[in-house]
Amino acid sequence: MNIVLLSGGSGKRLWPLSNDIRSKQFIKIFKNGDVYQSMVQRVYQQIKETDPNANITIATSKSQVSAIHNQVGLDVGISVEPCRRDTFPAIALAVAYLHDKQGVDESEAVVICPVDPFVDESYFRCVHGLHEAAERGDKDLVLMGIQPTYPSEKYGYIKPSMSADGSWGFTFTEKPTREKAEEYIEAGALWNGGVFAFRLSYVLQKSKELLGTSSYQELYDNYANLKKISFDYAVVENETSLEILRYSGTWKDIGTWNTLADAMEENIVGKGTIGEGSENVHVVNELDIPVLAMGLKNTIIAASPDGILVTSEDAADHIKPYVDAIDQQIMFAEKSWGSYQVIDAEDNSITIKVTLNPGHRMNYHSHDHRDEVWTIVSGSGRTIVDGMEQLVKTGDVVTMGAGCKHMVIAGEEGLQLIEVQLGTDITVADKHKYEMPV
């Protein structure tokens, strides 16, 4: 089965755990045995359990590539969007990537679905059914229709309708009023969860018609100039050769603190205590300090290096404009090699805690405007500084002046270091990458 997972957005509605480079799908909050998983890890695992041979590609922005590699490994295919141009260009680029870069034949089927639904195993059995239906080719486009559980104003609806000639078809409505949603559900409407299946040739042709080309390289090179249009509007609403497969299992769109708290298996993640007199309180704490909640009701507390949120459930859906007004550098990020956390930031210095996964390494790089000092606090590995390699262990200190090329490679047990950056113009743009020395 070919499957493309759409992974986009900054997810500020889940601040402070999400930020401009760490979207909601990378937050590790779902219990899996003794460890916690993120949405993308959970969905990736569920797909592989349903179909171990599934060919999974993630369509995403460049800023998310490192986190994807960190969380699901290097085997997953990645179609990188140079910028945001809505879902049709993203899907067209991903389909062209499958065809031109991965060599998937245009007669093969592919399923497109979001990376972040909270679902059970039956969802992916339904996804597999969509793939099989698209392979049969009875209809050009196959959609998943989700059985509504309440009259939501946030989702699109797939409505059965009769045409003038007496034949049955479907119409689509986005985000109706609650009253209209109730009417639609009574008439048999389903939620449109953004899950589609088709043969590659179908979207390759649509791409030629709407974007002028189906070539991956041409789409990529001209991506910023492509028509900004959703897949629903460009394709689904105009398609008459359409099949709907109903899904009635667990499905939650986790986009706010309310929906995330509802999906949590336990009330506390991280160091936290919920004391006497508290009711329906959720604590998510990524800091290495305790959080104590007392006498609270219907409250969500979230703490991360980027900030602390304390909100009632009623107000949780309305935090975005307040978060947009916060001007602060990113304090935590996952990279393909591990992660970093800013510990302290001053005008002329930044102190960072860097964690490298076992066997992983940074890029070989240099900076023009800052010196750096590494202090190894745990683990062991190797450093390469201006071509000279040396072994490092806990307690060792390595210094690099501005312009000095450097990198660190973790040993089998991983490596953790404290990096102190010193300079008058410390920015993320001050970085030059080089080929790794032989």
Q: Write out pLDDT tens, residues 272-324.
A: 999 999 999 999 999 999 999 999 999 999 999 999 999 999 999 889 899 88
| End-of-domain residue from the set 281, 302, 324 | 324
pLDDT band for 176, please (50, 70, 90 cuts). Answer: confident
Structure tokens at 196: 């589609």
Structural domain contains residue 208: yes
Query: 164 and 38 share a domain?
Result: yes
Indicate the burial class of 295 (C-beta count within 10 angstroms; 0-12, 13-18, 19 or more).
exposed
Q: Name the nearest CA neighbour of 110 among 86, 129, 134, 90.
A: 134
Structure tokens at 379: 């683990």
Query: 109 and 204 share a domain?
Result: yes
Structural domain contains residue 260: no
Query: 115 and 146 share a domain?
Result: yes
Q: Is a pLDDT exceeding 80 seen at residue 237?
A: yes
Q: Name the nearest CA neighbour of 176 among 194, 196, 159.
A: 159
Structural domain contains residue 152: yes
Q: Is the dihedral of CA 144, 147, 152, 158 positive or negative?
A: positive
Query: 273 and 244 share a domain?
Result: no
What's the average model confidence in pLDDT over 27-50?
Answer: 90
What's the average model confidence in pLDDT over 59-69?
Answer: 90
Structural domain contains residue 228: yes
Structural domain contains residue 330: no
* Greatest alpha-carbon span in the chain: 80
Query: 146 and 279 share a domain?
Result: no
- CA-CA distance, 294 to 279, in Å (whole number)? 9
pLDDT at 433: 94
- CA-CA distance, 248 to 167, in Å (whole number)? 25
- CA-CA distance, 144 to 30, in Å (whole number)? 25
Amino acid letter, residue 332: F
Indicate the burial class of 213 (C-beta count within 10 angstroms; 0-12, 13-18, 19 or more).
middle
Are 276 and 291 in contact by the 8 Å Cβ rule? The answer is no
Query: 240 and 293 share a domain?
Result: no
* Mean pLDDT, rounded, of the chain: 91
- CA-CA distance, 333 to 437, in Å (whole number)? 26
Q: Name the nearest CA neighbour of 245 among 144, 123, 394.
A: 144
| End-of-domain residue from the set 275, 294, 324 | 324
Query: 317 and 390 share a domain?
Result: no
Query: 276 and 387 share a domain?
Result: no
**How large is the angle between the packed helices 39-50 and 121-136, nearest 10 degrees?**
60
Q: Is a pLDDT exceeding 60 seen at residue 93?
A: yes
pTM: 0.83
Query: 360 and 301 share a domain?
Result: no
Instruction: Give the alpha-carbon dihedral of 412, 416, 421, 427, to 10 degrees.
Output: 70
Judge if the upstream peptide bond of residue 117 is cis by omega within 30 degrees of 0.
no
Q: Name the nearest CA neighbour of 341 among 272, 286, 383.
A: 286
- CA-CA distance, 427 to 433, in Å (whole number)? 15
- CA-CA distance, 147 to 192, in Å (whole number)? 9
Structural domain contains residue 420: yes
CATH number at residue 407: 2.60.120.10
Structural domain contains residue 258: no
Query: 72 and 206 share a domain?
Result: yes
Are 211 and 92 in contact by the 8 Å Cβ rule? The answer is yes
Instruction: Give the alpha-carbon dihedral of 226, 62, 12, 30, to 10 degrees.
Output: 130
Total domains present in the chain: 3
Q: State which residues form the domain around 318.
A: 266-324
| End-of-domain residue from the set 303, 324, 345 | 324
Query: 230 and 86 share a domain?
Result: yes
What's the average model confidence in pLDDT over 384-404?
Answer: 96
The terminus-to-terminus CA distance of the chain in angstroms comes to 40
Q: Name the nearest CA neighbour of 404 among 436, 376, 368.
A: 368
Structural domain contains residue 329: no
pLDDT at 279: 95
Query: 229 and 183 share a domain?
Result: yes
Q: Is a pLDDT exceeding 80 seen at residue 411?
A: yes
CATH number at residue 12: 3.90.550.10
H or E element: which one contains 184? helix 178-186
pLDDT at 284: 95
H or E element: which one contains 303? strand 297-304
